[in-house]
Structure 1
Amino acid sequence: MNTGHETGNIWNFFSDSCFLFTSSVQSAPVSSPAFQETATRAKTLVEKILKNVPAAHSATVSIQGLSLESSTQSSNLQMMEVSLGIPASPVLKKLSDHFTLEMCVSRMLAGVQMYQNLLGVLSTSLSGLEDLRADLRDLLTHINKLKEAAQLQVDGSDQNQDLDLASHLQDSYSSQVAVHLTLTQLRSFCHDLIRTFRVLTSYRAAGTR
């Protein structure tokens, strides 16, 4: 699960000295008004999703001890994450020759689609996730527009993951645990998305030098 120290390690590179792209991604489409506007709107939508996660958690999870405020998950919950078939979030990294803008956008698309699919499965057992699903659908549209504005050739094949979650939702307890784990991961992924969009939107000034 991508939480705690792993997320911290991934984003340690986001110091002031790391807000520049490599020359391979310093193209005109990246600094175009359409790209910047779409990235800004996507970032705003991610912030909205992040604010709505606690409400969705409160509406669906009533098991004592399952709190979003806990910084770490117990070993029991980690094992349940595996047994329930909840996949890990796609990892977002610093843009470089080894992690291109195409790869970044592809993983953003894959992650948003994955969480939309997971919440779709969970919605069959619990109510209160509809708003998040709608926002994720809108976010997917914005990231696709970002891909078009940057003229990226993104392979979307990794977005179509087979989810085995439904077969593991045997009762209310397992459903609530699955929602808790999914929303915890979604919140962490949203933080990573916001950091990514901050870099993308900050490139307007760099691109006009």
Structure 2
Amino acid sequence: MKLTVVALLHYFLFAVQSAPTSSPNLSPAFREAAERAKTLVEKILRDIPRAHAASVTAEGLTLDPAAHSANLQMMVTSLGIPAAPVLKPLSEHFTLDDCVSRMSAGSRLYQGLLGVLSEKLSGLSDLRANLRDLLTHITMMQEAAQLGGGVFNQNSSLDLAHRLHGNYDVQVATHLTLTQLRSFCHDLIRSLRAVAAYRHRAAGTR
């Protein structure tokens, strides 16, 4: 009987030690990449008003939320401007892998949309460069924590390119894209902070 108990104890201890942990390996490389990503997102937020002023000249298109109208929302649909992937609080149903994958997909989305719009007007090149660098840091986060790459729909920017039929369409599309990018960046910062808090909780459970 005693031998059986000892054998069972050894079995369960081995099973626990060999089972993959549910907490990802959030290494110093991951933390550094996440911090650099957050710093870059903060810079993008500061640069959006300047980019908007340089590229959007049509009357009535301002970054003031009070100036938004139902007509602009209709333009979102008619121009086919997609919404950014939703970033949720981390949980067992929305994992770190989900979160970082959506960070990457949203950043790629806006880099692609700004790429289309920058062919029509000036003032967006710095934002595109910053989004490219942001993607680099997010990719480093994924690699450091051994996360999946996620799936990105590359057709979004092509759809927009086919629907821009005049200067006003370009102006509205730029305004809407920058407005949505600003909102996405606020979500990014909250999510990057949540990642840091999640790291501390994961470390405390080991």
TM-score above 0.5, yes or no: yes
Taking structure 2 as the reference length, what is the TM-score of the superposition?
A: 0.83
What is the deviation of 1:73? 2.6
Q: Which residue of 2 aligns with 1:200?
A: 195
- Asked if the contact 1:113/1:159 (under 8 Å) is kept, the reply is no
Of 135, 149, 152, the residue aligned with 1:158 is 152
Mark the runs of 5 or more structure 1 residues left unpaired by the alignment.
Answer: 1-23
1:22-33 alignment to 2 at 5 Å? 26-27=23-24, 29-30=25-26, 32-33=27-28
Q: How many residues align?
A: 183
Alignment of 1:116 with 2:108, yes or no, is no
Alignment of 1:91 with 2:98, yes or no, is no
What is the deviation of 1:203? 4.2
Q: Which residue of 2 aligns with 1:175?
A: 170
State the distance in 2 between where 1:53 and 1:131 align: 10
Matching residue's letter, 1:196: S
Of 40, 45, 49, the residue aligned with 2:40 is 45
- Asked if the contact 2:96/2:195 (under 8 Å) is kept, the reply is no
Structure with higher RCO (Cα < 8 A, 6+ apart): 1
Of 101, 111, 136, the residue aligned with 1:106 is 101
Mark the runs of 5 or more structure 2 residues left unpaired by the alignment.
Answer: 1-20
Larger Rg computed on CA atoms: 2
Matching residue's letter, 2:126: D
Q: Which residue of 2 aligns with 1:64?
A: 59
Report the secondary structure of 1:96's partner residue.
coil
State the distance in 2 between where 1:207 and 1:99 align: 15
Matching residue's letter, 2:192: F
Matching residue's letter, 1:161: N
State the distance in 2 between where 1:192 and 1:54 align: 17
What is the deviation of 1:205? 4.1
Matching residue's letter, 1:73: H
- Asked if the contact 2:90/2:194 (under 8 Å) is kept, the reply is no
State the distance in 1 between where 2:49 and 2:22 align: 36
Structure 1 or 2: more helix by fraction: 2
